[in-house]
């Protein structure tokens, strides 16, 4: 068992002021595999002081120096990739091969892109007698989730550092290992002391202290809608900037002009997007909106794709579906399965029984419902391997269903007529729309509409989120 007794402040691993520890549990075995400090407000004070002291020199550092550190960190992530992937797999259940691809390689690519995109930011702009300049927002509090424990740290903490800010990071205590490794990598890459500080702990203590701290200039959170509400309330006391990436209930609209081959591809892509990371993805396409005339064909294709998934030990190379990340999430997902059945939704495949051959761990059988968009399973974020199929008669009805949600993080549209697909995509209120399975572009901005939050991450736009504008008049 790994025991981490320290926090990272001003370039050093130092003891937390707390005598309490938090257990990290392997969701596949339900065994305690690590412990981290249950940090305190005093820990946050020390980390914020270190960040504030480091901010001045770092904010004046050259773009070349920041880019050099990002590139060195990217190389460090690759060098320690096996260790990082194993940590993620053991702590939150992501299959090992998936962790290596969707976390390690993705983050290395992202850090490289930050280095390349820094010079593309318009740091200065002349406007008559004014010089418009961009400068770092200041000390940033970064609060990251467990479902993508390396990637989320990189697009918040590393993006803020690249922009010239100093950071205090609170990683999730459910899956903290990758963040701790990345902290070591950043230090070894030459990042000056105090620019990145890490305090583990609970949201109610460390998160609250960080969000309300008078010397923290901005808070960036990825989490639930309720967590976003609390951050906004607490941050309002000092009127600090907030960036929020919250929940989603993303629609995937299949239009009625698809031929059989494209329909099969659309359904397979949609199921895969919904089930990635065991459905624990804010932007997962969890509502498949399909023509009523094609629904039985869609159901058959979706069931076949779902049954191809292999649930089991995340360290087994044959496993393609791991457990959900913790006992609380397991109970939440199962409760939604019960709600769906009680609401009268048609259970197409899956349900409350665990996957075949599973006798321990927080495993949920991949489940598909056919439901009405008014049902709770179609409106609330489940954050588990659950897909809801909803039917429509006309394009106008499909669009209305897609937008009939409090969320607006992501969406998908499939059509043989690309102009028709583009027209539908233009009217969906979501921050990102994939058309005909277009692959994700990590340099394109990602963020939400409505209750999915505000602010943008990834690429140049993600770094610009941590800048503020100043006018110099001559």
Catalytic machinery residues: 245, 282
Distance, in Å, from the CA atom of 131 to the CA atom of 359, rounded to the nearest integer, reads 65
- Measured CA to CA in angstroms, residue 445 lies from 321, 416, 466 at distances of 28, 26, 14
Which residue in the block uniquely carries the two structure tokens 């397979």? Answer: 268
Tokens of 330: 């397991």
- Measured CA to CA in angstroms, residue 289 lies from 96, 147, 381, 388 at distances of 32, 26, 16, 8
By the 10 Å C-beta count (0-12 exposed, 13-18 middle, 19+ buried), 259 is classed as: exposed
Question: Directed axis angle between helix 63-79 and helix 106-117, to 10°?
Answer: 170
Distance, in Å, from the CA atom of 194 to the CA atom of 167, rounded to the nearest integer, reads 8
H or E stretch including 242?
strand 241-245
- Cα angle 377-366-277, degrees, rounded to a multiple of 5: 95
Sequence-distant (6+) residues with CB within 8 A of 162 are: 66, 67, 70, 114, 115, 118, 463
Tokens of 208: 């609250």
Long-range contacts, stretch 5-8, CB < 8 angstroms, 24+ apart: 5/37, 6/37, 7/37, 7/39, 7/43, 7/47, 7/197, 7/198, 7/199, 7/200, 8/180, 8/183, 8/196, 8/197, 8/198, 8/199
Q: What are phi and psi of 261, to 5 degrees?
A: -65, -40
Which residue in the block uniquely carries the two structure tokens 């006798």? Answer: 359
Distance, in Å, from the CA atom of 33 to the CA atom of 266, rounded to the nearest integer, reads 39
Residue 288: HSE in the Cβ half-sphere, 13 Å Cα cutoff: 27
- Least Cα distance to 463 among 159, 156, 106, 112 occurs for 159
Tokens of 287: 């509502």
> Sheet containing 21-26: which strands, arranged edge to edge?
2-3, 31-37, 21-26
CB 321 within 8 A of CB 364: no
């Amino acid at each position: 068992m790994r025991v981490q007794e320290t926090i990272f402040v001003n370039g050093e691993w130092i003891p937390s002021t707390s005598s309490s520890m938090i257990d990290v549990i392997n969701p596949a075995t339900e065994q305690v595999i690590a412990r981290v400090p249950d940090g305190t407000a005093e820990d946050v004070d020390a980390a914020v002081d270190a960040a504030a002291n480091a901010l001045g020199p770092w904010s004046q550092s050259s773009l070349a120096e920041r880019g050099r550190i990002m590139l060195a960190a990217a190389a460090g992530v690759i060098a320690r990739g096996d260790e990082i992937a194993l940590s993620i797999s053991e702590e939150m259940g992501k299959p090992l091969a998936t962790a290596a691809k969707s976390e390690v390689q993705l983050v290395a690519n992202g850090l490289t892109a930050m280095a390349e995109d820094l010079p593309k930011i318009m740091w200065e702009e002349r406007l008559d007698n004014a010089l418009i300049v961009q400068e770092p927002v200041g000390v940033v509090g970064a609060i990251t989730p467990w479902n993508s424990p390396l990637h989320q740290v990189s697009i918040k903490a590393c993006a803020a550092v690249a922009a010239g800010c100093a950071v205090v990071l609170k990683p999730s205590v459910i899956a903290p290992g990758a963040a701790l490794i990345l902290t070591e990598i950043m230090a070894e890459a030459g990042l000056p002391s105090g620019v990145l500080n890490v305090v583990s702990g609970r949201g109610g203590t460390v998160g609250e202290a960080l969000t309300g701290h008078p010397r923290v200039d901005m808070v960036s959170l990825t989490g639930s809608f309720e967590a976003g509400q609390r951050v906004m309330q607490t941050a309002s006391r000092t009127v600090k900037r907030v960036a929020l990436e919250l929940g989603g209930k993303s629609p995937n609209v299949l239009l009625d002009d698809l031929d059989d081959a494209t329909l099969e591809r659309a359904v397979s892509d949609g199921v895969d997007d919904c089930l990635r990371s065991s459905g624990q993805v804010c932007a997962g396409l969890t509502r498949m909106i399909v023509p009523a005339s094609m629904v039985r064909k869609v159901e058959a294709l979706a069931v076949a794709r779902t049954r191809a998934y292999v649930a089991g030990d995340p360290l087994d190379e044959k496993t393609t579906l791991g457990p959900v990340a913790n006992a609380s999430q397991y109970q939440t997902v199962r409760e939604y399965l019960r709600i769906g059945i009680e609401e009268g939704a048609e259970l197409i495949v899956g349900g409350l029984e665990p996957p075949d051959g599973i006798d321990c761990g927080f495993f949920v059988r991949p489940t598909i419902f056919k439901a009405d968009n008014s049902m709770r399973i179609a409106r609330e974020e489940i954050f588990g391997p659950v897909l809801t199929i909803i039917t429509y008669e006309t394009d106008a009805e499909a669009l209305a269903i897609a937008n009939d949600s409090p969320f607006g993080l992501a969406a998908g549209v499939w059509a043989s007529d690309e102009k028709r697909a583009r027209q539908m995509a233009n009217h969906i209120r979501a921050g990102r729309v994939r058309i005909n399975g277009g692959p994700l572009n990590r340099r394109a901005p990602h963020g939400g509409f409505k209750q999915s939050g505000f602010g943008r991450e990834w690429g140049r736009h993600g770094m610009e989120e941590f800048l503020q504008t100043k006018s110099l008049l001559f």
